[in-house]
Amino acid sequence: MGKIMIIGAGGVASVAAHKVCQNCAQFEELVLASRTLSKCDAIAASIAEKMSGTTTKVRTVQVDADDVPALTALLQRENPDVVLNLALPYQDLHIMDACLAAGVHYVDTANYEPLDTAKFEYKWQWAYRDRFAKAGLTALLGSGFDPGVTGVFCAYALKHHFDEIHYIDILDCNGGDHGYPFATNFNPEINIREVGANGSYWENGGWVETAPMEIKREYDFAEVGKKDMYLLHHEELESLGIHIPGIRRIRFFMTFGQSYLTHLKCLENVGMTSIEPILFEGREIVPLQFLAAVLPDPSSLGPRTVGKTNIGCIFQGVKDGKEKTYYLYNVCDHQEAYREVGSQAISYTTGVPAMIGAMLVMNGTWRRDGVYNIEEFDPDPFMDALNKWGLPWQESFTPVLVD
Ligand code: NDP
């Protein structure tokens, strides 16, 4: 039994908080800490309604995670066993600093990205490795779905099905429909920064860069059907390229509907996706932040979204001298997720693995002094927990490959 502090009170934090309370045999106490206290209180109220049988004690508190001394003082006062960072990537380093100062283990779902450059990389967080090791603390990076479950899938495939993996294709399909012409399924600013960037994939030890949305394929997804998907740069490519021995190529594809792409192109063309500040009526504003403010809040999409997600990894490699293919994936239904925890499947597929990663660090199953990516841990307890906590996985030994 232990105590967790979740930082952030958005869509992903809400799911993780509900799941923490569902898993009350492990989590005795939950402190929900975020910038806007009313959002923490709304999550606590939903937990009281939906998880009435829980014995987890829930409290809420206001904190600006960018204020390191204030966050450190809060951590020292509350003394949680683990911090689950579900704020935005911009807060990662500040929260890691506070965890080091207060002596608390750290878990997140997205790597650090500076506010003024749309470029996410692990180098900033990997630079904390020695400090976490010296402090005897574990920092687990990327415990969402992608990154997160995708890395666990890779570790599991390598442990149980291959001597060497040569090719990995990560396929992220959202077959859900929220009925809006344009909305993003998670934080709009982070989502649009990711999608608007150049694509790239990892091949023979280096990056191959593409224009945004340059590489398109169609794939027939189990329980969803045929969808167009596009090659994107994605953060787990960087760590998997290092941690999967013998890997020759890793690509990441995400599905997008035509309406989403047409709106995005138009917004880009008029400058609304820019992160360069402009002067508007005497005040500096960032067009993308303004756009995010007028788009539907992702946490409001839950009741309107129908359909399923299908996210997984296709592996090609060798086992006992023979070539082998293997596909591991999860299918998640938006409406079922909404009925259970009041959020759509994108938040659900991130919040459940976030709870699992925090649980494994908290209870000592995954404990290593330093900063580690998720594929560096034993995948088996995580794979079992996925089946138990709402994201059961499926496998195929004869998947259709992506050319
Ligand atoms: P939201 O925008 O819905 O929520 C972010 C929350 O963080 C908000 O409650 C916000 O507070 C809070 N926050 C922002 N800045 C601060 C701060 N300085 N101090 C305290 N709290 C702060 O985002 P999501 O829930 O959609 O995403 C959460 C994280 O999950 C992101 O990092 C995202 O990149 C990641 N993610 C990872 C995925 C994966 O598969 N690995 C998939 C999807 C998301 P306020 O309410 O005041 O704005």
50-66: pLDDT as tens digits: 999 999 999 999 999 99
d(CA 403, ligand 1 centre) in Å = 35
Pocket of ligand 1, candidates 86, 92, 108, 347: which has the most ligand atoms within 8 Å of its Cβ, to mutate?
A: 86
245-250: average pLDDT: 96
Residue 173 · residue 220 · CB < 8 Å: no
Q: Dump pLDDT digits (tens) for 127-185.
A: 999 999 999 999 999 999 999 999 999 999 999 999 999 999 999 999 999 999 899 88
pLDDT band of residue 116 (cuts 50, 70, 90) is confident
Give dist(CA 345, CA 291) in Å, integer: 23
Instruction: Name the residue of 186, 254, 386 to mutate for ligand 1: max ligand atoms within 8 A of Cβ.
Output: 186
For the stretch 319-333, pLDDT in tens is 999 999 999 999 999
Pocket lining for ligand 1, CB < 6 angstroms: 7-13, 34-36, 39, 63-66, 86-89, 91, 109-110, 144-148, 186-187, 190, 298-299, 350
Protein residue closest via CA to atom 4 of ligand 1: 10
Q: How far is the CA of 323 from the centre of ligand 1 (A)?
A: 41
Residue 297: which pLDDT band, with cuts at 50, 70 and 90?
Answer: confident
Task: Give residue 13's Cα distance to chain centre.
Answer: 11
- Supply the pTM of this predicted model: 0.94
Nearest-angstrom CA–CA distance, 205 and 203: 6
